[in-house]
């Protein structure tokens, strides 16, 4: 079998569930040695078990700079380099204009913007030349959604990071791209509303997608694996939408 990521060293932040976990599983299946981070040890252990023998879990909060230092110190000791970085840790919840609080803003921007910035910056000494960095964006960055303005703004910032950072690291041949999912059936999506409203949310979102359904986490993982591979060697500073056409029509 031809494994497109054979012998690569990868880090997936926020790798214990949803898109992060599915991507870590895909990277491992394609031959990479995968490190994942998560904030809760039990979920981290379960994720590592589901990925397989080539996975290592590191308990860390991507918004905490001291945690990031510890993550990269461990990767340096155990692997010596990093070929693939999927800066995926993030999230958000919904509040309409008029109800947005300082805590809501700070929490979302701390993880989605500040955390992503320092996740990538602190990785630079470990990143190999021609490494691939993938950031998690969102269709919410280009579409208005009631109650989701802070989250959408944070993902718009992530998109701009890729444009500028690709120029900052061009001399090393490091590629930085964004994968922007549409609605994907993950615990994070379901957690936006009370349990008795989840199916209604899923149905409403699926109706907005030309393919008529929500995405699956594994579909995003396959795109990240592609961007991480040599098959994407001339793709840089790009945003690749994986949204079933939702934001494209």
Per residue, what are the HEC states of 54-121? CEEEEECCCCCHHHHHHHHHHHHHHCCCEEEEEECCCCCCCCCCCCCCHHHHHHHHHHHHHHHHHHHH
CB atoms within 10 A of CB 7: 9
Token pair of 30 as six digits: 């394609």
The answer to whether the beta carbons of residues 138 and 215 sit under 8 Å apart is no
10 — phi, psi (to 5°)?
A: -125, 150
Annotation marks residue 151 as catalytic: yes
User: Rounded to 10 degrees, what is the CA torsion of 167, 143, 147, 152?
Assistant: -10
CB atoms within 10 A of CB 157: 17
- Of the candidates 72, 109, 148, 151, the residue annotated as catalytic is 151
Return the closest-CA partner of residue 228 out of 85, 43, 14: 85
Residue 138 CB contacts under 8 Å (≥ 6 apart), including other chains: 151, 152, 155, 180, 181
Name 57's bridge partners: 36
- The residues assigned a catalytic role are 151
């Amino acid at each position: 079998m031809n494994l497109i990521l054979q012998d690569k060293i990868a880090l997936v932040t926020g790798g214990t569930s949803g898109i992060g976990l599915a991507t870590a599983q895909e990277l491992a299946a394609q031959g990479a040695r995968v490190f994942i981070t998560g904030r809760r040890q039990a979920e981290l252990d379960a994720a590592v078990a589901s990925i397989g023998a080539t996975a290592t879990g590191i308990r860390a909060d991507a918004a905490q700079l001291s945690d990031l230092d510890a993550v990269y110190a461990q990767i340096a000791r155990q692997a010596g380099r990093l070929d693939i970085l999927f800066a995926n840790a993030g999230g958000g919840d919904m509040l309409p204009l008029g109800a947005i609080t300082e805590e809501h803003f700070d929490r979302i921007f701390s993880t989605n913007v500040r955390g992503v910035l320092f996740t990538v910056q602190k990785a630079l000494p470990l990143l190999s030349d021609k490494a691939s960095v993938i950031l998690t964006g969102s269709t919410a960055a280009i579409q208005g959604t009631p109650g989701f303005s802070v989250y959408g703004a944070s993902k718009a910032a992530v998109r701009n990071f890729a444009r500028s950072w690709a120029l900052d690291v061009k001399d090393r041949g490091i590629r930085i791209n964004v994968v922007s999912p549409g609605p994907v059936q993950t615990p994070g999506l379901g957690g936006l509303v009370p349990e008795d409203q989840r199916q209604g949310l899923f149905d409403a979102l699926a109706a907005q997608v030309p393919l008529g359904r929500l995405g699956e986490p594994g579909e995003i993982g396959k795109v990240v694996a592609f961007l991480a591979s040599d098959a994407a060697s001339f793709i840089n500073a790009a945003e690749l939408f994986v949204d079933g056409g939702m934001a494209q029509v």
